[in-house]
Structure 1
């Protein structure tokens, strides 16, 4: 496509659309309003053609601005409401998690196996234990009432829950936002979590107290680690989209998957808030171990049911976790 000829052929239409938009919708006659809609549709098509055939940055910027202004004038301004939040948690968020299930379930299985192997390796090798921590410090860490157990009651429950939620939400956000960098930051976050849990399991296992460690970590860890694995799997999927966008253009694929990933940050923040409350109030409580683990298991099963029942239905109905259609950029098919 000859860009200069294309601009010369359609510049008058763009200028006319700009003039109508400057006057405002209330000042337009019926004929002018119809003209605005027609010019809006044509300009959207022009934008699609330019993006696919001759993506000149200056022209794309101008047409994008025109289309956005015209769309706002035609469809009216739209603000978020409680209805949007309800729709997000009832359909958008669980559908997005369900759609990325192959990524995060695989991530969870690999990481759980790695934690078990690291824990076994440390627990059965005194040389590894001494390389991690001195023998005296190890006894202090693993004794009944030692630092591993005191950690969960070292601060007031409310502030501890806020601290835990902030740390975990930050890790999840890193996975979701920075996954676009080919997933490399995601692998770093996973490495930190796997190694930390594996070391704790191994050191407590070396003292014959692996059951105590699991009794402390499982009540909140089931839901917490699941949320981290969901964020990591989604981030890895976003990174893979950069490499292989599939039938969509790379720009379109990244826009759609990126918006869904950012939306998931909000949903996972709520999930991590629940796990933080459990970690602050249930894990250090005097409840029997079976009761504390039972509470964590109920929370985990509730989340999995939410994803694989509600999320599956929403995904099958066409929900992707992306924003509402009216909030997306206009995109029309065009031949190159």
Structure 2
């Protein structure tokens, strides 16, 4: 093909890309409409193809120089447009994390169910006979529940908050990391921690301090338990990716599942921190039992609204 014909046949594509580049001089790539963005990407790919053709048949001609400049300008907009690290993190926690949870609802349900199996079993065993409690919970916790009506001992908020955070996130991380044991370790962590909560609740019921007990658990527990369920779901994803890789090789399946699991586990970090602060400062305060239970309900409502964001967006745009 002669150079003149090459120019005549394709100049409208080059002009289109050039006009879009002019528009981007004062704006960002995301400012383009969907149709403009599609046109920009398509035109860029065609221009790259034309540049290759021009280099081959027309050498270092003015046409080649022009196409090289055009392609370079478009390339810089496509591959150099990066959002700040803070913006990416913020976007993940506001949008990405809830959507990731929605996509992995089945694992969340299974994780929660395993925990609740432990809760229900130990609760029933304990309310039938309080002497069964030591099989599930340590002696110091049993004594603590017995003396709830008489008040609590002095509480170092700063120290306790740090200790609580470390313990809670440790449970979550173990539930996540033990997914590598084909999910068996994750299952154990979930059921074992369910045993502790269920038996403690059963003992509180037997000692007539049921509502006091929950007022000390739920303010932080709404977020804390949710985070443990998420980390459990992450561990189960890893286990499933090893046991049933599907169309992928076992290695590729583990990499794919592991990436999802890591994002899920990371998504719980801010919530774990907030739960630790609440447990360290608000839970041991002199606020009434009723106020603490109301606070817990509000926490649950806010968490539910946060998790509902992907469904709300989907309904809005459908």
TM-score between both structures, scaled by the size of structure 1:
0.62
Alignment partner, residue 107 of structure 2: 103
Distance of 1:100 and 1:275 partners within structure 2: 23
Change (3 A) 1:126 1:260: closer
Which aligned runs of 4 or more in structure 1 are off by greater than 6 angstroms?
130-137
1:1-336 to 2 correspondences below 5 Å: 81-129=85-133, 141-145=145-149, 150=152, 154-310=154-310, 313=313
Shift of 1:225: 0.8
Distance of 1:88 and 1:179 partners within structure 2: 23
Change (3 A) 1:171 1:141: closer
**8 Å contact from structure 2 (residues 178, 185) kept in 1:** yes
**8 Å contact from structure 1 (residues 95, 312) kept in 2:** no
Change (3 A) 1:200 1:88: same
Alignment partner, residue 9 of structure 2: none
Shift of 1:205: 2.1
Is 123-132 or 291-300 further displaced after alignment?
123-132
Shift of 1:145: 4.9
Distance of 2:281 and 2:311 partners within structure 1: 29
Distance of 1:295 and 1:264 partners within structure 2: 26
Shift of 1:254: 2.0
RMSD value over aligned CA atoms? 3.5
Aligned residue-pair number: 244
TM-score between both structures, scaled by the size of structure 2:
0.65
Q: Deviations over 1:132-185 (max 9, x none)?
A: 799999567412456xx63xx654212212211111112212222331321122
Distance of 2:144 and 2:175 partners within structure 1: 34
| Structure 1 residues not aligned, in runs of 5+ | 1-33, 39-73, 318-336
Shift of 1:224: 0.8
**Partner of 2:307: helix, strand, or coil?**
helix
| Structure 2 residues not aligned, in runs of 5+ | 1-47, 53-77
Shift of 1:187: 1.7
Distance of 2:304 and 2:146 partners within structure 1: 33
